[in-house]
């Protein structure tokens, strides 16, 4: 929290035009090294090295004359102790910067690399009114995404931090943001999508431990995941406007596991990667389904299952007024998607003696549970499911109709009426 993330390890010079610096991260002890080569072309100059603890630089003085161009070229190489095919990070940085070409040569390679990326992921929205501005905005968002996730991150054990790799907010924790970028990655960079799913699979053990500690079965992925997959969500939060510390219940956003299941299912659907489903994906999906099966409780009076004490994606509603416990009951998004997860778990189980060759263990009551689980909105809305269809009913006492948007269908349900459709994905 104090912003001191790096501890100096060493610094120095290498020849006349190169300086280097190595630090390590304060908690994870990852070493990071930079080597900087600075060249001056076009005029007489003097050069001195300035060096302090955790800081090194060249101090260059030159006389610039009218009409005489002067070029100052600085090239930096960066390596970490996590990089592959190196001996040591500072040595690797010095070797790379010494072998680096000129600015013009590096720029040419840079342009070729970006051209390749744009040809792979570019989206052309066509021509028309405001199309140019819309295209520019779309390109900007894709550029930000590619700064964090691309083919270059496939070999790295990384998730999708909420502010990317270039923002310090949320302390680098991983939430559920991959849900929003997976549709793009699955079609344009499926190998990157697979790597992100493996990131979650490597932390499945920690998710299982979290579920057991909370009294559930299966795997419960955290709202704010640390580097090892543990829950890092704060339990108190500083309100910057009032200066008061307030309770923070956002760890009750249990729908991260739903996002993981949703992403892996659609990845396998789009790519046909049954090897991944058999070796990693099915295990994650079934463990997430086991969690939701154990998180649901049966309400005999209503003859339905309920999920209580959670926070949905709407973080502004995290408890009932005057309640003695945090969380809401039967959050619409959570219950709806929990049923979806259970349905997909049944799909996986149907394949276990076929192409997947699985022998998973799930509670016997899973099939009965998924057909009875309901969600109750706060406006008298009731949704019923079977394996293939969804039916949404509106209580007759409601004062106003509701509008629904499901995929490409838009419908209006009047008080006392209902709407029925085939479930997406069946």
List active site positions: 315
CA quadruple 170, 174, 175, 180: dihedral sign: positive
Please tell me the distance from the alpha carbon of residue 233 to that of residue 248, in angstroms, as a whole number. Answer: 8
CA angle (29 as vertex; 172, 154 as ends), nearest 5: 55
Task: Enter the DSSP assignment of 162.
Answer: T
Cβ of 152: how many Cβ atoms within 10 Å?
Answer: 11
Instruction: For residues 9 and 156, give the distance between their C-alpha atoms in angstroms, rounded to a whole number.
Output: 24
Residue 6 main-chain phi, psi, to 5 deg: -120, 140
Q: In 53-97, where do the E strands start and end?
A: 55-62, 71-80
In 43-74, which positions are buried (b, 16+ CB within 10 angstroms) versus exposed (e)? eeeeeeeeeeeeebebeeeeeeeeeeeeeeee
């Amino acid at each position: 929290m104090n912003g001191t993330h790096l501890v100096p390890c060493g610094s120095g010079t290498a020849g006349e035009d190169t300086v280097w610096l190595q630090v390590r991260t304060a908690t994870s002890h990852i070493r990071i090294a930079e080597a900087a080569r600075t060249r001056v072309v076009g005029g007489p100059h003097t050069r001195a090295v300035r060096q302090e603890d955790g800081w090194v630089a060249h101090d260059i003085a030159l006389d610039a004359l009218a009409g005489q161009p002067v070029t100052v070229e600085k090239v930096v190489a960066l390596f970490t102790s996590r990089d592959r095919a190196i001996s040591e990070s500072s040595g690797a940085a010095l070797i790379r910067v010494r072998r680096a070409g000129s600015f013009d040569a590096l720029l040419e390679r840079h342009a070729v690399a970006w051209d390749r990326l744009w040809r792979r992921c570019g989206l052309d929205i066509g021509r028309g009114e405001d199309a140019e501005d819309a295209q520019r905005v779309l390109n900007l968002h894709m550029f930000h995404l590619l700064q964090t996730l691309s083919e270059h991150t496939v070999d790295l054990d990384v998730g999708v931090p909420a502010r990317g790799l270039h923002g310090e907010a949320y302390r680098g924790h991983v939430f559920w943001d991959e849900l929003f970028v997976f549709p793009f990655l699955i079609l344009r960079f499926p190998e990157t999508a697979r790597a992100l799913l493996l990131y979650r699979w490597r932390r499945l053990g920690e998710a299982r431990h979290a579920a057991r500690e909370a009294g559930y079965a299966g795997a419960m992925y955290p709202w704010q995941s640390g580097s090892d997959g543990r829950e890092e969500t704060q339990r108190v939060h500083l309100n910057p406007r009032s200066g008061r510390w307030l309770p923070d219940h956002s760890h009750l956003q249990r729908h991260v596991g739903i996002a993981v299941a949703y992403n892996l299912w659609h990845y396998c659907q789009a790519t046909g990667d049954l090897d991944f489903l058999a070796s990693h994906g099915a295990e994650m999906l079934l463990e997430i389904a086991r969690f939701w099966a154990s998180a649901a409780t049966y309400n005999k009076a209503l003859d339905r299952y309920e999920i209580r004490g959670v926070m949905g994606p709407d973080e502004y509603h995290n408890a009932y007024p005057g309640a003695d416990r945090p969380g809401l009951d039967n959050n619409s998004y959570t219950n709806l998607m929990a049923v979806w997860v259970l349905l997909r778990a049944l799909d996986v189980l149907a394949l276990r003696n076929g192409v997947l060759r699985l022998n998973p263990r799930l509670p016997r009551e899973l099939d009965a549970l998924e057909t009875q689980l309901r969600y109750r909105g706060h406006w008298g809305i009731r949704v019923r499911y079977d394996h293939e269809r969804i039916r949404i009913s509106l209580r007759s006492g409601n004062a106003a109709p509701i509008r629904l948007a499901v995929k490409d269908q838009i419908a209006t349900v009047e008080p006392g009426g209902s709407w029925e459709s085939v479930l997406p994905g069946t």
